[in-house]
Amino acid sequence: MSEPEIYFHVGLGKVASTYLQNKVFNNLHGIHYIPKNKYQSSIDIIRKNGPKKYLVSCEMDRQFNDEVARFTSHFFDVKIIILFRDHGGWIASQYRRYVKNGGYHGFEEFVTLDPDQEGMWDKKHLNFYAKLEIIEKYTQQKPLVLFHNELKKDPWAFFDKISKFTGTGYTKEKISLGKVHASYTEKQLLILRSFCQNYVGYIPRGRSNRISNWLLFRPWWAFFHLVMYLAALFPKAWVPKGPLIDTNYLKRINDLFADDWVKINKYAQKNNPKF
């Protein structure tokens, strides 16, 4: 093998990527796994170690197009693994992460359905089929397309698809089906959002240096988790009224992107390897 054989898991974020990184990818046999925390050094690692089989993992959302183009430009052959979940469920999970990190705008400000406006999350990132086109453009190959609901329905069949696509094996007993970390309740997130609306406001972020950005935000991250921990003890009367995310609004999002959802499912049915 004169060239490295590279498998590149590109996320998306909030579709069990952290679970796969911590419980599955690191337990595959016969492949050199480069985890998320070494992604920025992955190109150098591959060049240094030479023509072996690699699995590189990184969660990509808004930076998807640029990162796929950048990474694949360094290697002759890159096979991509990508996961999707329904549009409403995906953007709702992104919003919960935003609130958990101190965001206080409402969901309808986070992603607006008004065609003449853009929310905090650009609607173009909900065009999933465009991501498949980007992958084909830069790799000249069809990716392995997987779905979050497949993992929930039959995790072992899901893992088998990854194993067969990458030409690896795994020991079933070493893979836990438990969650990597527990989710926060709607009550906790409602209280944190209200707290940030009333008492926090500006949070210092956005530095170009990743380490500086992390150091600036880390104390806030710890503080927000403390607020959510205490929120679990609050009586019901103290919880802000209304849902964190309106279910009717989520349905409108899924309806708006229904054709896109059908297209990516048909793409997977047509192009995924028949193992």
The domain spans of the chain are: 5-87+120-179+257-271
Q: What angle do CA 183, 125, 160 make, to 5 degrees?
A: 60
Structure tokens at 38: 């070494």
pLDDT in tens, 162-213: 999 999 999 999 999 987 766 789 999 999 999 999 998 767 665 556 677 6
For the structural domain made of 5-87+120-179+257-271, what CATH number should be given?
A: 3.40.50.300
Residue type, 195: F
Query: What is the pLDDT, as a whole number, of residue 193?
Result: 95
CA 70 to chain centre: 19
pLDDT in tens, 68-99: 999 999 998 999 999 999 999 999 999 999 99
Reported pTM? 0.90
Q: Are strands 144-147 and 32-34 parallel, antiparallel or unpaired?
A: unpaired
Instruction: Give the helix/strand (H/E) hosting 227.
Output: helix 210-231
Instruction: Give the helix/strand (H/E) hosting 83.
Output: strand 78-84
Which range is least confidently modeled, 27-36, 58-67, 99-108, 210-219? 210-219
Report CA Rg, the chain: 20
Among 58-62, 121-125, 219-223, 264-268, name the most confident range. Answer: 264-268
> What gap in Å lies between CA 142 and CA 5, rounded to an integer?
15
DSSP 206-219: --SSHHHHHHHHHH
| Residue % of the chain over a pLDDT of 90 | 76
pLDDT above 60 for 113: yes
Grouping H, G, I as helix, E, B as strand and the rest as coil, residue 147 is strand
